[in-house]
Amino acid sequence: MTRKSRRLWLVGGCMLGFSGATLLTLQAFSANIVFFMAPSQVLASPPAPGRTIRLGGMVVAGSLHEVRADGKEPSVSFSVTDGQSAVPVRYVGILPDLFREGQSVVALGAMRADGSFGAEEVLAKHDETYMPKEVAAALKKSGRWDPRFGKPPSAASWNGMTAASVRGS
Amino acid sequence: MHVAPFADLSSGTVSSGSAAIEAVAGPPPAGRIAGLLHRYANPGRYLRLGDRIQPFLTWPALLLTTIGIVWGLFFSPADWQQGDTVRIMYVHVPAAWLASLGYAGLAVCGLLSLVWRHRLADLAAAEIGPVGACITGLCLVSGSLWGRPMWGAWWVWDARLTSVLVLFFLYLGHVALVRAFDDPARGARAAAILALAGAVDLPIIKFSVQWWNTLHQPDSITLTGAPTMSLTILWPLLVCTLGFTFGFAAIVNARLRAAVMETRTRQLLLAGTGAAR
Amino acid sequence: MILLSMTHWPFILGAYAATLATASFLSVAAAVRLSRARRRLAALDRRPRRSA
C-alpha cells in the first residue's frame, strides 16, 4: 500500500506542478492569446500605426454605409463598439453573410493616421443563442427585441413560443 | 462462446515481462471502490462483462443517433440568423464533447496505470486513443465547415480552436507513443504520463471562451445557467450527444474486448510454444 | 445586408458526410477486429491444452 500511495502522491504532485506552470504561462501570454482587442482597449493604448491587430466588437446600428464605386469591389464603412467607445472601420471587399448591424465582428487590419481602422478581413462572430426564425420574427414584431441593438432576450422568455403558435398568431 | 478468465493463466509460465498477472493477483482492496476496481480490472472478468453490455451500448447508439440526426436534419427549425447551417451543430457539438470526454477517459486510464498498475487500463488507453483522435478530427473538420459559411474563415487561431488542435495532437502523440517501444509496458507508461499531463488542456478548452476573447461563441449549455437555445434545437442536440456517446462507448468496448482477446491469444501461443520446448 | 435566406447545404452535407465516414470507419474496423480476435482465440481454445 505504501508504494501505491507514494506513486499516487508523486503523480498528484507532478500534476499540480505542471498545472501551475501551465497556468502561469497562460497568464503571462494572456495578452497574446486574446484573439481581438476591444475598441476601448485600442483607444486607451493605441497600437503603432501600421501594426496589424484584430479589432472586435458590435457593429453600431445605423453606422453601416456602402460605397459602391463602378467596376470596383464594394467599399463599406461602419463603426465597431464595445459599449464604451467606438472605432470607425473602412473595408474593401465582400462581407460575410452574417454581417449586419448589431452583429459582433472581428476585423483584421491596422489603425490609420486619421484614427480609423483599415480592415483587410472581416469575420462575423455569432453569439451562443440559437432560435427559430419564426420566434425571432415574432420577437421583432412585438418590439421586444431589435437585433440591431444587441443580444436577444434570454431563451426562457421565448421558449414557450413554439414555431406553430407563432405561425398561428 | 466461452472464454476462460485470465486467472487460468497465472500458472507462472506466461510472465512475458508485462504486468498481466499482477491485476489478477493484486493485494486485498482497501475500500469498496478499490475493490470494485480490482474486480473489473481483471481482464477475464471484464471480457465477460463487456460481452454482456455490448448490445446495451450498440443498440441505443444506433437508435438515438438515427433519431437525433433525422430530427436535427429535417424536423428542427433553422436558426434565425444562421439558417440551415446551424444543423452542423448536431454533429459538431457531440464530437467536441466526446473529444474532451475521451481524453478525460485517457487521463483516468493513465492514473490507474501509473498508480495502481492496472494492465486493463493500459489496454483501454491504447483503444480509446485512436477513436478519440478520429472524433477530435471530426470535431475540427465539422467546425471548419461551420466556420467558413458563418464566420467567413475555415480556421482562425483563437484560443478555443487552438486548444482543441492541441488536444488533437495530444491524441496523435498518445497513439504514437503507445506503439513506439518494443516493450509494450514502457510504451504504456510513457503514454500514461502524456495522457495525464495533457489533461491540463481540458479545462483550457472548456474555459477558453470565457477567459479570452475568442471568435468562437461561448457555450450555450452550461451547468450553472439556463441554456441559451430554443428547446426545439436543444432536444435533438441532446439526443445526438447521447447517441454519439453510446456509439463511442460501444466502439471502445468492442475494441477493448478484441484487445483483451488478442492479448490472451498471444499469451496462449507463448505458453504453447513454451510447453512444446 | 442581412441574408437570411442563404443556404449552405454543401457545407452541411460535408459535415454529415464526414461524420458518416468516421462512424462507419470506426465501427467497421472495430467489428472486423473483434470477429478476427474471437475467431483466433476460439481456434486456439479448441486445440487441446498441452500445458500441465
What's the complex ipTM? 0.84
pLDDT computed for residue B223 by the predictor: 79
**Alpha-carbon separation of residue A66 from A91, A93, B249, C4, C20 (angstroms):** 10, 11, 53, 19, 43
Residue B46 identity (one-letter amino acid): Y
Chain C touched by B77 (CB under 8 Å): no
Whether C11 and B11 lie within 8 Å, measured CB to CB:
no
| Residues B164-173, mean pLDDT to the nearest whole number | 96
Q: Of the candidates C51, C34, C32, C38, which has an alpha carbon nearest to the alpha carbon of residue B268?
A: C51
pLDDT computed for residue B33 by the predictor: 64
* Chain C residue numbers touching B69 (CB-CB < 8 A): 16
* Chain B residue numbers touching C40 (CB-CB < 8 A): 261-262, 265
Question: Could you tell me which residue, B106 or B1, shows the higher pLDDT?
Answer: B106
Which of A71-75, A146-150, B114-118, B168-172 has the lowest average pLDDT?
A71-75
**pLDDT at position B37 over 70:** no
To which H or E segment does residue C23 belong? helix C9-46
Q: How far B191 CA sits from the closest chain A CA (Å)?
A: 14
Which of A37-46, B27-36, B78-87, B155-164 has the lowest average pLDDT?
B27-36
C-alpha cell at B123: 489496454
Chain A residues 87-126 with CB within 8 Å of chain C: 95, 97, 99-101
Per the CB < 8 A criterion, the answer to whether A84 and A39 are in contact is: yes
Q: How far apart are CA B6 and CA B265, in angstroms?
A: 11
Residue B64 identity (one-letter amino acid): L
Per the CB < 8 A criterion, the answer to whether C29 and B250 are in contact is: no
**pLDDT at position B109 over 90:** yes
Domain boundaries, chain B: 87-221+228-260
| Residues B192-218, mean pLDDT to the nearest whole number | 91
Q: How far B62 CA sits from the closest chain A CA (Å)?
A: 27
The tens-digit pLDDT sequence of chain A (169 residues) is: 678 888 888 888 888 988 888 888 888 887 777 888 899 988 888 888 788 889 999 999 888 888 766 666 778 899 999 888 899 999 988 888 888 888 889 999 998 888 889 999 999 988 888 888 888 888 888 888 888 877 788 887 887 776 555 554 4
Q: How far apart are CA B257 and CA B52, in angstroms?
A: 11
| Residues C33-45, mean pLDDT to the nearest whole number | 91
**pLDDT at position C39 over 70:** yes
Per the CB < 8 A criterion, the answer to whether A97 and C7 are in contact is: no
**pLDDT at position B231 over 60:** yes
**What residues does A105 pair with on adjacent strands?**
A57, A124
Q: Which chains sit next to C, with 3 or more Cβ pairs under 8 A? A: A, B
* Chain C residue numbers touching A95 (CB-CB < 8 A): 1
Q: How far apart are CA C18 and CA B143, in angstroms?
A: 11
| Residues B155-172, mean pLDDT to the nearest whole number | 94
Chain A touched by C52 (CB under 8 Å): no
Chain C touched by B4 (CB under 8 Å): yes
Chain C touched by B138 (CB under 8 Å): yes
Q: Of the candidates B199, B212, B181, B35, which has an alpha carbon nearest to the alpha carbon of residue B105?
A: B199
**pLDDT at position B122 over 80:** yes
* Chain B residue numbers touching C27 (CB-CB < 8 A): 247, 250-251
Q: How far apart are CA B12 and CA B32, in angstroms?
A: 29
List the alpha helices (DSSP H) in B26-86.
Answer: 32-40, 43-70
What phi and psi values does residue B214 have, to the nearest 5 degrees? -130, 160
SS3 category, B260: helix
Question: Could you tell me which residue, B136 or B209, shows the higher pLDDT?
Answer: B136
Of B86, B159, B200, the CB nearest to A18: B200
pLDDT computed for residue B108 by the predictor: 95
Q: Of the candidates B189, B231, B119, which has an alpha carbon nearest to the alpha carbon of residue A165?
A: B231
Q: Of the candidates A156, A158, A132, which has an alpha carbon nearest to the alpha carbon of residue A145?
A: A158
C-alpha cell at B2: 466461452
Residue B229 identity (one-letter amino acid): M
Which of B38-52, B86-100, B167-181, B192-206 has the lowest average pLDDT?
B38-52
pLDDT computed for residue B17 by the predictor: 38
**pLDDT at position B9 over 50:** no
**pLDDT at position B5 over 50:** no
**pLDDT at position B115 over 80:** yes
Q: How far apart are CA A145 and CA A166, in angstroms?
A: 15
Q: How many CB atoms lie within 10 A of CB B137?
A: 17
SS3 category, A157: helix
In this prediction, residue B34 has a pLDDT band, given cuts at 50, 70 and 90, of low
* Chain A residue numbers touching B89 (CB-CB < 8 A): 130
* Chain C residue numbers touching A100 (CB-CB < 8 A): 1-2
